[in-house]
């Protein structure tokens, strides 16, 4: 019985975390493209992120996206970027800090290079500086 309850709670927390970026344009990319064979979706929450001061990490990476996919996702990201309180755009990647959601910072990271397109949605108490440090270590 304890295992069943644990599984139900895990599924509920995953379900709730997937709704975190609802209301953002990029949600359409997660909904439409995550099921494709050339797409990899990662959702992390809970204890795994505690040391990073994060509560949710949701990413979508598409390998060899079509020109139409690139344009579609770029438009979605730009729609959300229009609401950003902090923007940092370079030719290699873009960081956007959105207004806080439930007392947490919310970020969108976007990278579009010749072979892959990546969107990352992050929630947590970490600052933009900390987020950038985490990704520069890679």
pLDDT at residue 104 is higher than 60: yes
Residue 74 makes CB contacts below 8 A (sequence gap 6+) with 112
Model confidence pLDDT, tens digit, residues 45-69: 888 888 888 988 999 999 999 999 9
Model confidence pLDDT, tens digit, residues 60-102: 999 999 999 999 999 999 999 999 999 988 888 899 999 887 7
What is residue 137's predicted lDDT score, i.e. its pLDDT? 57
Are 62 and 38 a contacting pair, CB within 8 Å?
yes
What is residue 3's predicted lDDT score, i.e. its pLDDT? 53
What is the spatial distance between Cα 59 and Cα 41, in angstroms, rounded to a whole number? 6
pLDDT at residue 103 is higher than 70: yes
DSSP string, 57-115: EEEEEEES--HHHHHHHHHHHHHHHTT-SEEEE-SSEEEEEEEEETTEEEEEEEEE-SS
Q: What phi and psi values does residue 91 have, to the nearest 5 degrees?
A: -60, -30
Q: What phi and psi values does residue 61 have, to the nearest 5 degrees?
A: -120, 130
What is residue 21's predicted lDDT score, i.e. its pLDDT? 61
What is the spatial distance between Cα 11 and Cα 23, in angstroms, rounded to a whole number? 22
Are 46 and 52 a contacting pair, CB within 8 Å?
no
Are 60 and 41 a contacting pair, CB within 8 Å?
yes
pLDDT at residue 7 is higher than 90: no
What is residue 11's predicted lDDT score, i.e. its pLDDT? 45
């Amino acid at each position: 019985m304890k295992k069943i309850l644990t599984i139900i709670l895990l599924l509920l927390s995953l379900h709730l975390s997937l709704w975190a970026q609802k209301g953002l344009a990029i949600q359409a990319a997660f909904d439409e493209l995550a099921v494709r064979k050339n797409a990899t979706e990662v959702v992390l929450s809970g204890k795994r992120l505690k040391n990073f001061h994060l509560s949710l990490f949701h990413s979508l990476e598409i390998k060899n996206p079509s020109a139409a996919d690139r344009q579609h996702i770029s438009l979605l990201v730009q729609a959300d970027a229009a609401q950003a309180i902090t923007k940092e755009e370079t030719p290699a990647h873009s960081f956007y800090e959105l207004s806080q959601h439930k007392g947490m910072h919310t970020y969108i990271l976007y990278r579009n290079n010749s072979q892959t397109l990546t969107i990352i949605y992050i929630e947590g108490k970490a600052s933009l500086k900390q987020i950038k440090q985490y990704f520069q270590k890679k």
